[in-house]
Amino acid sequence: MERKQAEYSNLDERYAIQGEKYQGQQYSHIYFTRLHHMRNLLHALVPSWKPHLPVTTVLGLEEGKDCIIVGTLYKHMKLKPSILDEYSKERSAIPLVKPHNFMHPDDHLILEDESGRVTLAGAIPPAAYVTGVVIALHGKETSAGNFLVEDILEAGIPPQITLPSINEDKYVVFVSGLSIGSEKFNPLQFQLLIDHITGHLGDENEQSIASNIVRVVVAGNSVHISPRFFNGQAVASKDQSRIAEPIKELDIMLTQLVASLPVDMMPGSNDPANFSLPQQPLHRCLFAGAATYNTFSSCSNPHQFELDSVRFIGTSGQNIDDLYKYSDAKDKLEFVERTLRWRHLAPTAPNSLGCYPYTDKDPFLVESCPHVYFVGNQDKYETQLLQGPEKQKVRLICIPRFCDSGVAVMLNLRNLECSTLSFSTSFDA
């Protein structure tokens, strides 16, 4: 049985940190670039939104006069962790409480542009927004010096290239959170997934479906290295091989996959890669076996690519996990959708999410709408087909951690339909 092929092009060059020199620059540049780019977009949308209203700056506000202002949001949060608080609490008897979410009823929003900043009130819920989002607001200044918001304009889902018509089934498999080396990792479970993808499991029908899988994307957190090795002490020689064990095991597993089909390897927050976004590709020397195959691609996080002209963009989950800490939504998919509507993959970077201090660009801006937007290392599998106002169609996918769920996600390029591959090794399941 022959495996189907799909034409692949990697679009990660925008996330590559090459030729960038760190010279102690601050993060103001990235905010300025973001505001400049987004303001041009929003100014173009204002005439069709509220053509009769003037657009002004924060400094140009007049009390009681209706107008539109465009700026970057800053969310003042009472519970947001501060390194100074942590230092002072370490020295006190009261333990530091670490909530999973830093929301508080007293949180409020401030809008900022180059001219100044103004506190927002009225029809803008602080729970739905985070620091770093650029929006346009209709309202007026009050006698107290606040800006009373009446209406909000977000940039909205960006324009999309036409979805190509593919007349045969071709599948992409997404898996994340393997956590090889942790107590949760079940080698047999992952081996079953590999055997299914490579066509060593099941009857002819199963194998014919497996032969339609054209690519596997591993979306971060593939290994787990015990935190006790990261205590700032020199690692004993007997422990050095122990640190490498999970990576060697991952390489053995990956080599089985890449011998059969192309694999994209993305780094995650627990992987041996740089901490701040965009995470650079894992070094090929970590994969002595898999890297010898030309089907192995070590990619960045975020990762952007095209398969048969279907555009994909995805992260290993840090951007959505951070939104979950600082804002509120009914589910993780709503956070994913918001990043598209704000046209920014990681609005909380660099405020609460580590990112590289770029001086002349913000690589997380979403200028073209993908057809598939995936996020790895989530608590559970969720998916939705999002329809935009200009007939954009985006498949949003939350990929669950494989070590917890035994679930990988399979997407059909022909119709963007999603299904799960679920593997269990317990008899009662």
User: So where are the chain's domains?
Assistant: 8-21+160-422, 50-84+101-153
pLDDT at position 101: 75
Please tell me what DSSP assigns to residue 158. P
CATH of the structural domain 50-84+101-153, one choice from 2.40.50.430, 3.40.50.11030, 3.40.47.10, 1.10.10.10:
2.40.50.430
The DSSP H or E segment spanning 33 is helix 28-49
Helix (H, G, I), strand (E, B) or coil at 199: coil
Rounded to 5°, angle at Cα 338 from 357 and 353: 30
> Within its chain, how far is the Cα of 154 from the centroid?
19
pLDDT at position 257: 96
Model-level pTM? 0.93
Helix (H, G, I), strand (E, B) or coil at 248: helix
pLDDT at position 14: 93
Question: What contacts 59, CB < 8 A, 6 or more positions away?
Answer: 115, 116
Helix (H, G, I), strand (E, B) or coil at 251: helix
Q: E strands within 316-427?
A: 372-378, 382-387, 393-400, 407-412, 418-422
pLDDT at position 84: 65
CA separation, residue 101 to residues 177, 203, 329 (Å): 22, 47, 12
pLDDT at position 45: 95
pLDDT at position 226: 80
Rounded CA separation 62/69 (Å): 12
Side-chain-side CA neighbours of 353 within 13 Å: the count stands at: 23
Q: Could you tell me the two tokens for 96? A: 């530091």
pLDDT at position 427: 63
Which class would CATH give 8-21+160-422? alpha beta
Strand partners of residue 383:
397
Q: What is the mean pLDDT of each run of 10 residues along the chain (429 residues)?
A: 92 88 83 95 95 94 94 87 63 54 83 93 92 96 94 95 92 96 92 94 90 96 83 76 89 96 96 93 95 96 96 96 91 95 94 90 94 96 94 96 95 95 75
Scan for tokens 């100074």, then name that residue. Answer: 84
pLDDT at position 106: 81
Angle between helices 332-341 and 318-326 (to 10 degrees): 100
Q: State phi, psi for 28 to the nearest 5 degrees.
A: -60, -30
Helix (H, G, I), strand (E, B) or coil at 398: strand
Rounded CA separation 300/315 (Å): 9
